[in-house]
Structure 1
Amino acid sequence: MRSGFRWRQGAGDATPGGSPGARRIAWPRTLAAKRNARLRSEHLRFVNEEARGGVLHCFVLDCSHSMLSGQRLALAKGLLVALFDQARATRSEVALVCFGGVGADVRFGPAVPRWWNERWIASLGGGGGTPLTLGIETASALLERAARLKPAQQRCLWVLSDGRSSGMPSRPAHVDHVVFVDFEQKQLRIGRCASLACMWGDEYFPYHALIDA
């Protein structure tokens, strides 16, 4: 699995004292550095350069019944609100795919997020099984369409799930970078998200590395 945490593909690890072109905060990498501590200047990570053609962050949110246990879905939605807000601040596009029960559907985008992110994300419900493969396939189709419309755009896929599924989906073809945020909490762990991140060669984080739970 790749090390580090990148908000934009190809972004560097500039420090607060970096060049004038590196002043935009890369919030997910900053949150990863902060972990559970109070935010301090040494935690800040900055974006070195703008992505030619812009950036699309496609989020795949697990809304299955298992995510209702231990407030996992609430934690995932809280992280989602923070990431949507940062995307809005940087004028990045986002898309949201929710999966649960026997289906998966696109709930937002691709578009620049709105200012009322918290209001509508908070109302997302959960229940049913965990069709992880269907969720990834739905996101893959969305990313393929985005690649045709904006070939120069960088595309990042975020998977927010506890991985309580037997599915082992294939990595989408039209994505530059994938981040798995694992919400699995039980002592008897399946480890599906970690396995997929390893198999795909992408990044993996347990949720508590990014959230003050």
Structure 2
Amino acid sequence: MSNLDDSIDAAAAAVRAGEAVVYPTETVYGLGADATDASAVERVFELKGRDRSKPLSVGVPDAAAAREYARPTPFETRFMERFLPGPVTVVVERGPDLSDVLTAGGDRVGVRVPDYDVTLDFYRRADRPVTATSANRSGAPSVRTPAELDPELRDRVGAVVDAGETPGGTESTVVDPGRNVIHRRGAMADEVASWLAEETGDPPSVDSE
């Protein structure tokens, strides 16, 4: 366990130094960098080969941190209290400290609070919001073990937190509760849809990316 502890420390230090790192979540491995640092976020886009017009999400350790970097409405806060921590990315109004690069200049951001102690420990040690996007080249499958990482991507990150195989394999459901839209069906999608339908009186629309 000490090796894992050391690797979490190393990854947190790398994020604070402006580097990108690979870290596990309860779904798949993620690619993380300081979400307040435009250059660090650019590096994540570059490593993934991701179109800059497609926003990235941000990972934080708890709901309090989410409210520090985002501006959820009371309804969105209730949704977050129901589903976070968990494999759900909640799209809400962004706060001013997040990089414009992260949100592709938009006014909303996806927020993740994974239900996985290793991830939450890493976020706390990093002491800043971290990009939450899968650690794969765009278009390639997500990875559940470090052995599945693209070799070039692995060579270019500052650290890899190796916690073995991730507990799940389905990516998070991406939902904008304030607009009653599911952008991507993933883990817990049926529960999310049922909650929104009950709370709003209308089933959510599904916008496949």
TM-score in terms of structure 2 length: 0.29
TM-score in terms of structure 1 length: 0.29
